[in-house]
Structure 1
Amino acid sequence: MRQLEACIRSELDLTAQRRIAVLEPVKLVVDNYPADKTEYFDVANNPNREASDTTTRKVAFTRELWIDAEDFAEVPPPKFKRLTVDGEVRL
């Protein structure tokens, strides 16, 4: 059974389209980004895809974003590399 699961996982890693979900959403507002502006970025449907697969999807970037609660801390522990109050983070 483990070998079957490994084969399936290996195949899906190359062929499955990727999506993102935020399980415990926290709303983030980017103050220095225009409220009426939306930018779209092309993102690979599967970053591990075969070279012949060049399919992409559009992802919108706006002033309002959603991050997972685990990616934010008001009082961060040492070496916390995520978003904090008055901290910077790379998106």
Structure 2
Amino acid sequence: MKYLISWHAYQHDFADGQVVEDGPTLSFHQHFYKHDEHILLSAEKEEDLRALHIRSALLKKYPDRKISIRHMDINDLINHAEIQS
């Protein structure tokens, strides 16, 4: 199995609250995606509307792809110690 694990880009995947087609997440799927599953990481503890919107946009465009959201419950995306715990 080949997995893509990524964070959604708060600033570059959205414009005016909407998912943008040329953001990094959708662009990667359009041009480079050759994986069995995309695990989309969210810093939130529970429901993350941005992650849900990205997942919905991807599934609308690529309905046969497996895309899941993993809620990490972390405060600092740059803090490796917090991410690894």
Larger radius of gyration between Structure 1 and Structure 2: 1
TM-score, L = length of structure 1? 0.20
- Which structure has greater helix proportion? 2
